[in-house]
Amino acid sequence: MTLRGPENGQAGTSRRAPVRAARTTPGPGRDALRAQQAPRSRQAPGPRPVATRPGGRLPAGPRGPGPTRLPATGDPRRRQALLTVAVLVLLAVFAVRLVYIQGFRGEAVAQEALAKRLSTASLLAARGEITDANGVQLATSVERYTLTVDQKVLAAWKVRGSDPLVSGPSGAAGLLSPILGLNAAELGAKLAGESRYKVVAKGVLPEQWRAIRELGIDGILAERTSERIYPNKTLAGNLLGWVNSQGVGATGLEALLDAKLQGTPGTVVYEHGRGGQEIPGGYQEQTDSVPGSSVQLTILGDLQWKAEEAIDSQVAATGSDSGVIVAIDTRTGEILALADSGTVDPNDPKDGKLSGSSAISDVFEPGSTAKVITMAAALETGVANPLTPFEVPYSYTTANNQTFHDSHEHATLKLTMTGILSESSNAGTVMLGQNIPQQVRYDYLEKFGFGTRTGIELPDESPGILHPSDEWDGRSKYAVLFGQSVSVTALQATEVFATIANHGVRVQPHLIKGWTAPDGTFTPSTAAASTQVISPTTADTVMTMLESVVDGGTGSSAAIPGYRVAGKTGTAQKFNPDGITASFIGVVPADDPHIAVSVILQNPKTSIYGGAVAAPVFSDVAGYALQELGIAPSGTTAQLFATTWE
């Protein structure tokens, strides 16, 4: 093989070159030769061989870029330049970002930052008051606070410069305990922990919270609440009911009228610091709450107190299970008193059962007090008049062999229709009433309100029990004539007498006089509905007949000196054969009726007769009501019907 010599402008001498010489001869180099001889599979295709000029020079052509040279990183000037450029770029980014934030999103960013420091609290609406007819508070609300703690924030709190150091839960407890009147150790245990929200104390007074706030203890916060109080304790507790811990009416009027008493809550948005405390002078936005309306009842507070005191005393004196007193304005239907024995204090409802008023929820057989309906029906239908004579035996048997007898044995009596009512004779009432058609008997019971709710503004009112006349059996159709086989509430029974006293006009009884709006505007209740049940003449006649019951009849203990009284005693067996309901319901003054009052006792032990146990209480309470209302004594003498005949 012939090799070309070094490129020196002269032709080389041709000779056989030793192998070793070929490895040291200057030229393309052994690596280039090996590359030329290497298999194509191991090498990417390269440029085709180029012919050389004579003398070994390559032909002229464009020069390539040559080999890439790396910068000298060790050059301090170059390194400084690169650093300067990087800083300028970073500053430019910051500048652009700053311009964007301040120029385009400045307000939004500020709002976002503020929002992180804002808290929202609810502003409770003041609950409306409940007052009696004269504006005396029966239920009202007072400002209170619920004290809470953020235990994590409190753990880092300390009083700067204090010696010894006052800090954390134990230090806070030492400051708070004398204000709250709580044991410091027990309070400290409540304050320690990891909770972000824990109730420390409820019912905190405004002056207590002001003192606590001035301490500036981080993590100690308060929520404004209200507490419902009943200034007169047990007075009308059966009507008022109570409010639960969430401020919602739970029973009685508080529950029934809750929507109007509640009002509309407001809100306050405020800026707070690290410890959750409001920043003085910081951002604040408030939407005021709207107080609830206040309700004025028809109840007379003093008369309600008298009725409650009287019925409690008589229940105790007679060993009765319970008792109620109802007083109604006969002309307007306003409830002046609605008293249950054993009324509890709504300030502390857990001590008793506030289940409403038994005067509207509990039913009983009215007994002889319902005989006035039979008398009215007999007069209206022309069956008899006040002087119609009857020979009344102790025991009377009807055509269908149903026997009825009076409360005590006696010889046959010559009684007028008025006398039958005055002596409260069951036998005589059946003799008289059997001439009234069965459906008519039912119709008058229904007209006077039996079997239907009165519509009084209290929850859980019972309609009583009045079966249709075609469901009466052979005995019931006579028993209804003297108040058995039917059941009523105390309010329904009292309403019958109020209707008779109001010249036969039945006025719906009601408990609400009106509402006072938050702006002080008073709106009276809509006038109560009224219905003419019996004619004025019949009503006035029955009133005169009822005066005979008090003037020499079974209700003589109901008399009130200086006033004419009309009324009726009642004694009825309960569903339990051993149970008795004793009652007296009357109207005063009989010559100018203003008030109907009922006294009803359940299972008295000293006597079963209403004239003995209920009539004296009527005299006491009705007499008090006359004085309370300033009603003048009767100015006329009663012209009574004869009760007997010869």
Q: Looking at 300-368, which runs of residues are DSSP E strands?
A: 322-329, 335-340
Alpha carbons 530 and 496: distance in angstroms, whole number: 13
Residues with Cβ within 8 Å of 336's Cβ and at least 6 positions away in sequence, in order, are 133, 298, 299, 300, 303, 304, 327, 328, 329, 595, 625
Query: Exposed, middle or buried by CB within 10 Å (0-12, 13-18, 19+), for 276?
Result: middle
Which one of the listed residues 357, 358, 368, 557 is annotated catalytic? 368
Alpha carbons 609 and 593: distance in angstroms, whole number: 26
41 is catalytic: no
Backbone angles phi, psi at 70, to 5 degrees: -75, 145
What are 587's two structure tokens?
């109207």
CB 494 within 8 A of CB 326: yes
Please choose, from the candidates 215, 256, 220, 258, the residue with its C-alpha nearest in 3D space to the C-alpha of residue 239: 256
Within 10 Å of residue 609's Cβ, how many Cβ atoms? Answer: 23
Backbone angles phi, psi at 121, to 5 degrees: -125, 150
Residue 615, CA atoms < 13 Å, CB-side half-sphere: 25
Backbone angles phi, psi at 149, to 5 degrees: -140, 140
Q: Could you give the C-alpha distances from 510 to 193, 307, 527, 602, in angstroms and in order? A: 55, 18, 10, 25
Positions annotated as catalytic residues are 368
